[in-house]
Structure 1
Amino acid sequence: MEAVFRTCAQTGLKVHNHAERLIRVNAVAGVFSILFGGIAAVLVLLTRWPAVHLLDPASYYRALTFHGINMLIFWIIFFEVAVLYFAGPIVLGSRLAWPKIGWVSFFLMVAGSLLIDIAILQGRADVMFTSYAPMQAASHFYLGWILFAVGALVAVCNFFASLVVARAEKTYTGSIPLVTFGAATAGIIAVVTLAHGAIIYIPTWLWSLGIIERIDPGIYRLIWWALGHSSQQINVAAMVTIWYLLATLTVGATPINEKVCRSAFLLYILFINLASAHHLLVDPQLSPAWKIWNTSYGMYLAVLASMIHGMTVPASVEVAQRRKGLTKGLFEWLAKAPWGSPGFAALALSLVLFGFIGGITGVTFGAEQVNIISHNTLRITGHFHATVVAGTTLAFMGLTYYVVPLIFRRHLISTKLATAQ
């Protein structure tokens, strides 16, 4: 298949047409997912409001499950696939390795997400977000998870194959850019995460068909959280990658020390998935040593990586601003930052809100005493809303305002409205 490129007039980036189309459809699918999840969120809110109490208990929990899966899984992973195709072929100026396979992966993800949503709306998947065994849903619910996980896994493989193509065709020199390196980090975490999803949902699907007699609940919980929480670690790596990209796009920032930044991404690869263990701290089958290592020593190395990124991104912005002559006092560089740009506003708010609300609360859950007190309370809900909404979604939307002109070739209706959002 012949590769066709165009050059963006604004950025000068070389855009492969097949990568461009796949970025579009994955981003749009993600936006539809957040729309569906948002509608369900309104229903949940109106039910929790005592004066309205809209839904009966069964419908409430279906809406809650629908909301969680569409927002935490579908929206995030569809958009992350778009980010991978952007950070690979577009940033490197290369072609997408397997365009047809890219479409296969997309349709697998769409089919999987629809099967899951349909099962929930039918009332045939009243097993909540975690779908813990021995609770059982309809077989097409589990089949949907398998299709979605396999489709996303294929998309990640397509991204890595595109890196090989770019290297072979010498579309760049030296090391891959930091943005691509960060996306590769997210891709590696995604491989581990999605593989666990396939590993646990394939036997569960066979169990729902009556082919397997039973699923061990303890093993299910252990493997499922390597999907459930680790999928949010893909978010973290992708979000930090977007922080660096937005810093460059908005103020022309470059990392002060790329080696340090890359080392922090490496810490993510090695340790960030261990944080999944804090969901299992009250599980009696796991040893105290396993729990302490994963949620203390192991997880803290991932926290160290986040702290490094949390300092290097604003530091790079400050250096870039001071190079422009904004050196008066301690904070002129910040006061005269491009706050009118939706990309910069999203970067600043995402970094602060994720770091101080989402990140810190997550670290405290690694302490067993705090975890036991917080387990199954609204503190958990507040934590992941602070990470996924205030952190990840805000960063993703900030990038969207740059992707729309570049990939969709459309102008924003109102920059002021985007900034206000």
Structure 2
Amino acid sequence: MLGCFVFLVTLVIAKEEGTYEGSIPLVTFGALTACIIAVFTVASGAIILIPTWLWSLGYIAEINTVMYKLVWWGMGHGSQQINVAVHVSIWYLIIAVLLGAKPLSEKVSRTAFFLYILFLQLASAHHLLVEPGLSSEWKVFNTSYALYLAVLGSLIHGMTVPGAIEAAQRKNGYVNGIFNWLRKAPWGNPAFAGMFLSLVLFGFLGGISGVVLGTEQINITLHNTLYVPGHFHATVVAGTTLTFMAVTYLLLPLIFQRQVIWPTLAKWQPYVFAIGIAGISLFMMGAGTLGVSRRHWDIAFSDAVLSFDYPATAFLMLGLNGMFAILATLGGALYVLITVGTILFGKKVDGSNIMESLGPMPQRQVSGAVKEYCSAGTFHLPGTYILVTVFFTAFVLYYFVNWKYLSEIWPIG
């Protein structure tokens, strides 16, 4: 709460000092979205402590468990959505700094952030889909209509960011073919590579699996299985952590004023971490689909009166998960070593080497993308349209497969 207060006061002071004109910049607007969600989140956690504290003192005879879970998940789910709003804001920041990219429509991007404020908290109901004390009507409304409006916000960002990259790259001169703009992107820059990998993993793994978990009927097959932490790893780690790692490579020269040491290792670090965390997420979700439970000390049920054997494929999934966890740990260790080493031993950044310190980027850039209220001004984005089509095709197919799987384990008729 203190951090939110400092942030809001800073916005007021910045306005009074004329730091910006008109509306606050888009990246700051995204940070404001995260701040508003944070206030709600912390308030939910604080409010629910009051009856539990009074109950512990004996002043309240009992606590309605459904009420407790509902308010608690306003904090539990909301704390994740703070990260989502922030890391989406950082996506816009990185592409603006490195490519001069502007959002396709700033008004639409701001509206998407506003959808987060209105509906992300309601979507916390998907944690309660197997709760018998809540009606099916309440569950369906909050995890269908409300959840889908929150998902709409993420879809807008997920389509706008690659579209903004394509628009900027084409203005930068990469106009040949459908995907030349993507091939010529600064993949050797760890900030860009980490951001784009985060975008892809968050959308394909975290986003699609989140909608599946938020469907009441399908959720019954996946609730409290390893599928759930698999989804979390795709959103919080592949989405948020990887994005924060990416932006670090810009903050080191800009804030700490140090050149990144071991540039070759830094170039590969996002890829190592992204591949590792993608494997963790995929194989956790695979094991969860086969029924492997979470929060259980022994899934083999050794010496249990009623034994149960998971298919051998489930144990294969767990083994592969462990292997990719090692790879992700290696990527994380590289990040820590590079970051700490840069702060302590990196070459000093000054006016003569600041651009070099930000890493590879296109030679031509679109000016004004960071500080001005503006839009890309073009919708000639054939590559982005193909990427979006691939995403929706994958989404529809995976959604259908889960309904088909449900029909096989829960016969109808």
TM-score of the two chains, using structure 1 as the length reference: 0.62
Partner of 2:2: 154
Whether 2:170 is the aligned partner of 1:322: answer yes
Whether 2:16 is the aligned partner of 1:197: answer no
1:177-326 superposed matches below 5 A: 177-208=25-56, 212-326=60-174
Whether 2:230 is the aligned partner of 1:382: answer yes
Whether 2:244 is the aligned partner of 1:373: answer no
2:223 and 2:65 map into 1 onto residues whose CA distance is 19
Deviation at 1:201, TM superposition (A): 2.5
Partner of 2:350: none
Partner of 1:176: 24
1:372 and 1:285 map into 2 onto residues whose CA distance is 15
Where 1:408 maps in the other structure, the secondary structure is coil
Where 2:205 maps in the other structure, the secondary structure is helix
Deviation at 1:334, TM superposition (A): 0.5
Deviation at 1:210, TM superposition (A): 5.5
1:166 and 1:200 map into 2 onto residues whose CA distance is 35
Where 1:409 maps in the other structure, the secondary structure is coil
Distance 1:207 1:344, change over 3 A: same
1:242-266: per-residue Cα shift (whole Å, max 9, x none)? 1100111221111121011111111
Q: Which moved more, 1:213-222 or 1:279-288?
A: 213-222
Deviation at 1:181, TM superposition (A): 0.5
Deviation at 1:411, TM superposition (A): 2.2
Deviation at 1:361, TM superposition (A): 0.3
Distance 1:168 1:356, change over 3 A: same
1:299-327: per-residue Cα shift (whole Å, max 9, x none)? 10111111111111111111111111111
1:209 and 1:409 map into 2 onto residues whose CA distance is 53
2:51 and 2:166 map into 1 onto residues whose CA distance is 52
Q: Which moved more, 1:194-203 or 1:177-186?
A: 194-203
Partner of 1:354: 202
The residue type paired with residue 320 of structure 1 is A
By relative contact order (CA 8 Å, sep 6+), the higher-ranking structure is: 2
Unaligned runs of 5+ in 1: 1-152
2:36 and 2:197 map into 1 onto residues whose CA distance is 27
Deviation at 1:168, TM superposition (A): 2.1
1:286 and 1:211 map into 2 onto residues whose CA distance is 27
1:399 and 1:377 map into 2 onto residues whose CA distance is 33
Structure 1 outlier segments of 4+, above 6 Å: none
The residue type paired with residue 245 of structure 2 is M
Where 2:121 maps in the other structure, the secondary structure is helix
Partner of 1:411: 259
Q: Is the 8 A contact 1:318 1:333 kept in 2?
A: yes
Where 1:229 maps in the other structure, the secondary structure is helix
- Cα RMSD, aligned residues only: 1.4
Deviation at 1:284, TM superposition (A): 1.3
1:22-73: per-residue Cα shift (whole Å, max 9, x none)? xxxxxxxxxxxxxxxxxxxxxxxxxxxxxxxxxxxxxxxxxxxxxxxxxxxx
The residue type paired with residue 211 of structure 2 is V
Deviation at 1:164, TM superposition (A): 1.4
1:54-65 superposed matches below 5 A: none
2:187 and 2:231 map into 1 onto residues whose CA distance is 27
Deviation at 1:373, TM superposition (A): 0.9
2:19 and 2:218 map into 1 onto residues whose CA distance is 50
1:122-156: per-residue Cα shift (whole Å, max 9, x none)? xxxxxxxxxxxxxxxxxxxxxxxxxxxxxxx1211
2:102 and 2:55 map into 1 onto residues whose CA distance is 52
1:271-319: per-residue Cα shift (whole Å, max 9, x none)? 1111100000111111222111110001101111111111111111111
Q: Is the 8 A contact 1:250 1:341 kept in 2?
A: no
2:189 and 2:10 map into 1 onto residues whose CA distance is 32
Where 2:255 maps in the other structure, the secondary structure is helix
Partner of 2:250: 402
**Radius of gyration: which is bigger?**
2
Q: Is the 8 A contact 1:256 1:312 kept in 2?
A: yes
2:254 and 2:260 map into 1 onto residues whose CA distance is 11
1:312-360: per-residue Cα shift (whole Å, max 9, x none)? 1111111111111111111111101100101100111000000000011
Deviation at 1:203, TM superposition (A): 3.6
Q: Which moved more, 1:342-351 or 1:285-294?
A: 285-294
Aligned-pair identity in percent equals 62
Number of aligned pairs?
269
1:204 and 1:296 map into 2 onto residues whose CA distance is 31
1:361 and 1:420 map into 2 onto residues whose CA distance is 27
Deviation at 1:400, TM superposition (A): 1.1
Whether 2:175 is the aligned partner of 1:334: answer no
Unaligned runs of 5+ in 2: 270-413
1:353-388: per-residue Cα shift (whole Å, max 9, x none)? 000000110011121111111111011111001111
1:400 and 1:323 map into 2 onto residues whose CA distance is 27
1:391-412: per-residue Cα shift (whole Å, max 9, x none)? 1100011111111222222221
TM-score of the two chains, using structure 2 as the length reference: 0.63
